[in-house]
Structure 1
Amino acid sequence: MEHIALYRAWRPQSFQDMVGQQHIIQTLQNAIREQRVSHAYLFSGPRGTGKTSAAKVLAKAVNCERGPGPEPCNECPSCLRITAGNVMDVQEIDAASNRGVEEIRDLRDKVKYAPTEVRRKVYIIDEVHMLTTEAFNALLKTLEEPPPHVMFILATTEPHRLPATIISRCQRFDFRRVSLEDQVGRLRLICEKEGIAADADALQYIARLSDGGMRDAVSILDQISSFTDGNVTYQQVLGMTGGIPSEQFARLATAILEGDMGLLLDLVEQLMQEGKSADKCLENLLYYFRDLLMIKMVPKADQLTERVLNPAEFRDMASSFPRERLFEIVDTLNRYLGEMKYATHPQTLFEVALMKLCSLQQEITPTLSAAPMGMLQDVGGANTSTVDLSELDVLKRQITALEKKLEQALQSGGISGGVRENAVVQKSAVAQSSAPRMPSSKMPPHLDKFIAGKDHSDFANIYKQWSLVLQGVKEEKVTVHAWFVDGEPVSVMEDAVLVAFKNTIHRDTTEKPANRQVIEHVLAARLGKPYRLVTMMLRDWNEATLKSAERQGTEELRLEHEHETPEAKAEPWIDEAIQLFGEDLVIIKD
């Protein structure tokens, strides 16, 4: 007889077989009992928590020949054929491979026909978030007002990707991760029925590996039972899944506490020789120290973590670390775990992270030994675990520096030396501040014309429509929008729009020819006129407009006495130049 995978053989066939979703089961059973079944349901939640299984059980319950009732009988022809997938009126559709608008239109056309084999047509659309926007739009009206003989059940692991118009037309049920206790109980039942001998620790570890997914837990049990010929032990589960026992983490934590880098590197090498991956080792070590912190900070924290098998050992280890030290370790490991995703040599980064923790411990130890005994005794009388060692070190350095300054002042005959030093420092600071500043970035051509056009009516219209421009860029290419959204329009000149950026890298990326082409295409489409894109830095624009305002104020003062100034003699030449070449081509410079 052909072997059937355990997760398929033990798939729930009735509501009472489902694990950990009592809030959903009771609601559905009451709805069937009171004949208040909705026309559309949305089942969302993590993988392996029973969404599709619940949909099939619901389809059997509403079509059972002995019902409809709160439980399908699983004996009548309708229940048996729905279980086998042989009823045309109950269809399970994979939205990942039928995501187009044509498939949904075909479904919409078939909905209007009455069922031929069972009481109600049921359409189960799995992974519904994979449908395209056009397919969702085609489904909207049918989902809102289907014929009375049709029921839709949508299942998804990513409900945030569904349009709000779809969600509002369904009764939504959120499936939870199955608790560790419920998973262990279900695994124990499967082992008893299948004749598998399994240790309690082994089943608990399998449940923890599944991360709340019942299907994953049963699949791991199936794999390990095949490997061990039906006798599952904790050590075999560790060896088969690449897991690491808590004793090895305890040895790593002890080496970190003692600052023993040699022992740490030896332990890492042992883990790598056993075939462990560096990223999983670092992740599990982070979880280990997180559990230590929870046990140290929160009374009765055994229920807050599902990874602690022996709370007594964790309490002993947690008491060895100060709270601040545990916070620092968790923060450091979390930072290195984020960097490991892009690391070429993960093992090297894992070793560096552990050596970093050791070096931090070694920096704290000399500080403790150098502190005055009286201070340590006073602090220890209160609570030595709450001493902030870094602050103590800072205070010691400040006191030493003050003693040196006082000694120098006394030797120089008073505080005049300190005043003189202060004057020298201030003088150098003033000299540095008065030094000419280099331009921070390139300036666009015709900046004066842009400054003049910042109050133009054309710019006011463009500013009002800028949100449409950003939306158009986002629709064209979302990566360009991510860079372009940093800029804001500040002026317009004929066929050019000036956009000022806060960040240099955002401006440089926007200036690339391909990105510029996308933006200018959207500008022409949304503003009704082709515009060139001109960019500059926002700080340079603010500085230029400020200088322009100051220059205009100075020129206004000069106009009151222009008969006394030599510039008045040059005005006829300026007027003649403007008449010959036009106002746009003449730039007047002082």
Structure 2
Amino acid sequence: MAHLALYRAWRPQTFQDMVGQQHIVQTLQNAIREDRLSHAYLFSGPRGTGKTSAAKILSKAVNCERGPAIEPCNECAQCTRITSGSVMDVVEIDAASNRGVEEIRDIRDKVKYAPTEVRRKVYIIDEVHMLTTEAFNALLKTLEEPPGHVMFVLATTEPHKLPPTIISRCQRFEFRRVSLEEQAGLMREICAEEGIVAEDDALKYIARLSDGGMRDALSLLDQISSFTGGQVTLDHAVEATGGLPAEQFGRLASAIRGGDVSAVLREIDDMMRAGKSADKCLEQLMHYFRDLLLAQLAPDAGGSSGRVADPEQLKEMAASFDRGRLFAIIDLLNRYQNEMKYAAHPQTMFEIALLKLCSAKDGASSGPPSSVTPTTEGSSGETARLQMRVAELERKLDAVVKNGVPAAAGGGGPSASLGGSGSSGGRSSFGGGQAAKPVRSRVKLDSFLASQGTPNHGQALSKWPQILQRVKEERVTVHAWLVDGEPVAYADDTMLVAFRNTIHRETTEKPANKSMIEGVISSILGHPSTLATVMQKEWQEAVAGAAGNAGGEAAAGEELRLVHEDGGESSREPWIDEAVRMFGEQLVEIKD
């Protein structure tokens, strides 16, 4: 037999050929032996694990001339014809291309007629999750009360997309991924039968790439053996599948560990000249560092490690990396892999990711993983963040001493945000010990207005693009909210950002988001800094008011405020307050 189309030649023809699915095979054989077959089965699991093959074997077992038997003979006329697909009572339907209600109605109309050639009609619907809602509704009644001579076998890789009403009317079997050892063992037998000379390392490499799918493994083996003329070595397997050799991973990891930018760029250049894709290289590199991490955390994991390299070759390299740094490297590579999907120049993103790993070689903690925050900011960024938090707590304490009430979330000075919440618990104690709603926060803008034109003001605002880029690298979702804002002033180590949209401003003001942004600002500016926010319209009114009252005391005492729901006095009409209470401030616009 020529070693071409190995999967078609070695496709399972009996239940005993089903590799790695012994629990399903035993259940189905017992049901056939005891004549307790269900009218509908649902086979779900990853691709290439034998769902459709099991459905055809089941259809042969129940219709075999020598059966029903726990194994089809594959010799009688019925078995051979079902294998070739020439029995009109055993119908295989691809739901991806026949997903409409008309096809299902046609099945519903035909199931009531008895089979003409075999014992039982069998409908195999592959990729059943692709059916439309109307088609599922048409199939539902047939599954609920089918004739006794009909059996349905539904196969899918995404069972969560099926309606619960369909799933509840089927016996469900979960096909699992085939283990690396089982795949390598079967491929070894096939190579012996087909006259293919294959190295064990090459077979294990193919099994790792197939991700538990026997069909994919045999297809890769067929491809590589055709490429090499029947001589399958590890180098041939890596070259034929477009992968990277383990030695190249080792060189890249060594260069990253030592911060050798020139070596990293040379390796990237070699990959690109060899025709490798940047996104695939980054994905495989991330799996390599994952293997290094597993070599540290679970050296005896066996088959669960070594996706792109032999686990034995990983131990020495893993010992030279700090555990915290491995977490940080995997986190950064995963982040750049997500961004690479939308990048116009993936190779540039790949280069930036590796160069950033080189520049952050001292940034990871040496403590246990639980104490590690995956970040590339380094120890200097952590120090700046801690100094910023200390300064914020000092401002809150000053506000308590001066005002006798809890300071707002942003502090009592100019760093407090307009419309910020109350104390950390969101409650203040007033008469009777009742928990009042957040107090109204007032912020004096004179220091921000006076800072216009000063050197510190201009230097701080000029670094806003760098701040945005760093925030995007840290957390792209926060960047999406922050980009709506525009820096308008910098005073007393506080950057004031004016927003056009209230929702964007409120999301930015959330403690976790604000803390991260303040850490970035402190790192870029080189000293602890805080963030304050204001609506753009209010800032423009403040600037206009300051210009109109230049030289007067009114400008010096200019205050802006945003009124929250509270129990205090309000200068608005009662019906306005009622509208705000009913619909929320975001939906109420007040016009004179």
CA deviation string 1:41-62 (max 9, x = no partner): 0011111110100000000001
Contact 2:205 2:234 in 1 (8 A): yes
Residue 140 of structure 1 aligns to a residue in which SS?
helix
Residue 92 of structure 1 aligns to a residue in which SS?
strand
d(CA) in 2 for partners of 1:436, 1:400 = 26
The gaps in structure 1 that reach 5 residues or longer are 369-378, 402-418, 439-500, 507-539, 556-586
Contact 1:62 1:69 in 2 (8 A): yes
d(CA) in 1 for partners of 2:10, 2:52 = 14
Residue 271 of structure 2 aligns to a residue in which SS?
helix
Contact 1:14 1:57 in 2 (8 A): yes
The residue aligned with 1:434 is 444
CA deviation string 1:174-211 (max 9, x = no partner): 11111111111111111111111111111111111111
CA deviation string 1:233-283 (max 9, x = no partner): 111111111111111111111111111101110111111111111111111
**C-alpha distance 231-395 of structure 1, shift in aligned 2 (>3 A):** closer
Is residue 2:156 matched to residue 1:146? no
d(CA) in 2 for partners of 1:588, 1:222 = 74
The residue aligned with 1:125 is 125
**C-alpha distance 437-553 of structure 1, shift in aligned 2 (>3 A):** farther
Q: 1:391 Cα deviation (Å)?
A: 9.0
**C-alpha distance 505-156 of structure 1, shift in aligned 2 (>3 A):** farther
Q: 1:306 Cα deviation (Å)?
A: 4.2
d(CA) in 1 for partners of 2:160, 2:106 = 26
Residue 72 of structure 1 aligns to a residue in which SS?
coil
Contact 2:73 2:79 in 1 (8 A): yes
Contact 1:255 1:263 in 2 (8 A): yes
Map residues 177-256 of structure 1 onto 2, 5 A cutoff.
177-256=177-256
CA RMSD of aligned residues (A): 3.9
Q: Give percent identity, aligned residues only.
A: 63
Output the TM-score relative to the length of structure 1.
0.65
CA deviation string 1:461-506 (max 9, x = no partner): xxxxxxxxxxxxxxxxxxxxxxxxxxxxxxxxxxxxxxxx973599
Q: 1:108 Cα deviation (Å)?
A: 0.7
Q: 1:169 Cα deviation (Å)?
A: 0.4
Q: How many residues align?
A: 427
**C-alpha distance 178-318 of structure 1, shift in aligned 2 (>3 A):** same
d(CA) in 1 for partners of 2:505, 2:123 = 50
The residue aligned with 2:521 is none
Contact 2:40 2:170 in 1 (8 A): yes
Contact 1:256 1:358 in 2 (8 A): yes
Q: 1:549 Cα deviation (Å)?
A: 5.9
**C-alpha distance 352-45 of structure 1, shift in aligned 2 (>3 A):** same
d(CA) in 2 for partners of 1:387, 1:81 = 62
CA deviation string 1:97-134 (max 9, x = no partner): 22111111111111011111111110111111111111
Paired letter, 1:350? F
d(CA) in 1 for partners of 2:185, 2:237 = 18
Paired letter, 1:319? A
**C-alpha distance 436-171 of structure 1, shift in aligned 2 (>3 A):** farther
Contact 2:3 2:194 in 1 (8 A): no
Contact 2:413 2:443 in 1 (8 A): no
Map residues 285-296 of structure 1 onto 2, 5 A cutoff.
285-296=285-296
**C-alpha distance 14-387 of structure 1, shift in aligned 2 (>3 A):** closer
d(CA) in 2 for partners of 1:320, 1:144 = 61
Q: 1:160 Cα deviation (Å)?
A: 1.1
Map residues 482-561 of structure 1 onto 2, 5 A cutoff.
503=503, 543=564, 551-552=572-573
**C-alpha distance 14-544 of structure 1, shift in aligned 2 (>3 A):** same
**C-alpha distance 400-248 of structure 1, shift in aligned 2 (>3 A):** same
Contact 1:63 1:79 in 2 (8 A): yes
Is residue 2:115 matched to residue 1:115? yes
Contact 1:180 1:306 in 2 (8 A): no
Q: 1:2 Cα deviation (Å)?
A: 10
Say which structure is richer in helix: 1
Residue 124 of structure 2 aligns to a residue in which SS?
strand
The residue aligned with 1:329 is 329
d(CA) in 1 for partners of 2:94, 2:212 = 24
The residue aligned with 2:73 is 73
Q: 1:158 Cα deviation (Å)?
A: 1.2
d(CA) in 1 for partners of 2:384, 2:106 = 78
Contact 2:286 2:330 in 1 (8 A): yes
